[in-house]
Every structure is written in structure tokens, then in C-alpha cells.
Amino acid sequence: MGALTMIDLLRHGEVQGGSAFRGSTDDPLTDIGLQQMWRATGTKRGWDRVITSPLQRCAGFAEEFAWQRSLPLVVDERLQEMHFGAWEGLPAADIMAHTPDALARFWNDPEQHSAPGGEPLALFRARVLEAWGDITRQYAGERLLLVTHGGVIRVLLSHVQNRPLGKLLEIEVRHGALLSLRIDGSDKRSAALQPLGRG
């Protein structure tokens, strides 16, 4: 058996501007969103380092958390949310009002139907899993706090649980959710999923 790596996945909290296809739009957290992230991590200890998306709704918290805990911080561009093209920053209701068929196709089969001008799901998955492979290899045997986005977490859960990629949107990941993955170094796809907290 290889080294056991613990990776805790923390989704950012509520973001200013309300619910939307935020993607790579770099909006900050609300006060509630920041509280959700602090509440999820709480008094937990034992992390060896923090790895974060560069977008401020993740990185702002990650930087402060790493500083308070005296932990090394790694910023990984590949952990950004999927880019939604023409839908960036738009609420689902606005898209539904103008292009309901396109939105329905995306929701029903995101693997085959991307947002107009957006990042295809296959390419999004490829960059996330490239980061995942590097992280699990480079930091094998450590306990990591990975601060990222709902889409990234869904890709990782689909991967380790062998779920069909097209069912990605069926996975619920709330703002401030903290999920723990236990990775046996002998098989990077094996994982035990444990919810640690919800925001």
C-alpha cells in the first residue's frame, strides 16, 4: 500500500452578485460566504499545506487561513472554475429567458453541450485531473486543504467515484461544503468520501 494522502475539498462560500454562471468572473465573497468557509474549517487542525484556485472567492480566504495557521500556500491556476463563455456572470433565469433550449441542453448533457463560447467539459475535466495528478503525486502522504469551486469538486468526485462525466451536475456541492478524500497511493482513483461540514 502506498502513502495515504488526505485531501479536504472546500468550496468557496456565497459570492457577491447572487447565484449565476460565475465561472472565471472574479467576484468577491459576501460576508456570509466568508463566514461559511471559516465555519467549515472551524477549529480543525492537521493540514500540511493549503492549495487554492487563484480567483479571489477562493484565494482571499486561503491566504488568510494559511497565514493564521502558518501553512505553506500553493496557488494553482488549473483549479479555477469552468469558463462559461457568453453565460459568464449571468443568472440562470436570464439565460432561460433568452436561450432556453441551449440552457436545457447544457443541463441535460453538459458533456456534449457547452455554454456558447465556453470551455468544453472534456477540456475542463482534463485540466482539473492534470492538477489532481500532480497534487497527489507531489504531496503524497500529506493532509491538504484544497480551496476551489463547485465544478472542480464535482469533477474530482466524479473521477474518484467512477461516475459518468455527463452526470456531473447531479452532484450537490453547497457553498462552504467541506468534503474529505482519503487517497491510497497505490490507486489514485480509490477514495472514501466523508462530508466534514456544510455552509
Q: What is the pLDDT of residue 188?
A: 47
What are the DSSP calls for 88-112, one per residue?
Answer: TTB-HHHHHHH-HHHHHHHHH-TTT
Q: What is the pLDDT of residue 2?
A: 65
Q: What is the pTM of this model?
A: 0.91
- Which residues of the chain carry a pLDDT beneath 50? 188-199
pLDDT of residue 166: 84
Instruction: Name all domains of the chain by residue range, CATH numbers in brackets.
Output: 4-197 (3.40.50.1240)
pLDDT of residue 45: 84
pLDDT computed for residue 196 by the predictor: 46
- Where does the chain have alpha helices with state H? 31-41, 56-69, 92-98, 100-108, 121-138, 150-160
CA 29 distance to own-chain centroid: 15
Confidence at residue 199, expressed as pLDDT on a 0 to 100 scale:
31
Using a 10 angstrom Cβ sphere, with 0-12 exposed, 13-18 middle and 19 or more buried, the burial of residue 77 is exposed
User: What local confidence, expressed as pLDDT, does residue 43 receive?
Assistant: 80
